Amino acid sequence: MRLLLDEHLSPKGIGGRLQARGHDVRALAGDEGTTGLADVDVLALAAGEARILVTCNARDFDPLAREWAESGRAHAGLVLIWTLDNHQHTAIVAALERLFDLYPSQRAWRDLVVAI
C-alpha cells in the first residue's frame, strides 16, 4: 500500500516496520518540506500522491473527511487512530495490517475512512 504517516507517527517505529512488509511509506515527521502543514493540506498531499493517510489526529480529520465527502472531493483513504497512543508502534502496525487484509487493493481505499 501507498501510505502517508501524519507528523505524530514515527517514521522508524511505524514507517520502517510497514516498509519492511513491502509498503510504500512517506512520513511527515522529519520532512522539513511538510512541517506545519494545515490538515487540509496534509489530506490534499495524500490525495495528490494517491496515499492512504494514517493519523492520530482523528478529532480534526474526521470532520475534514466529511467535508470532503459532502463537496465531492476524493481522497485515497484515511485511517483515523482513536484507540491507540501514537507510541504503540507494534499495535498500530498490526491494526493497519489487519485493515490491509480486509481491503487488499489500493483502489478499495478510495474515499474510505476507517477508525481504529
Q: What is the pLDDT of residues 45-57, one digit of tens each?
A: 999 999 999 999 9
Q: Where are the domains of the chain?
A: 2-115
The cell numbers describing 108, all together, are 478499495
Q: Which CATH number fits domain 2-115: 2.60.200, 2.60.40, 3.40.50, 3.30.70?
A: 3.40.50
Please state, in angstroms and rounded to a whole number, the distance separating the CA atoms of residues 83 and 49.
27
pLDDT in tens, 34-45: 878 999 999 999
For the full predicted model, state whether its pTM sits above 0.85.
yes
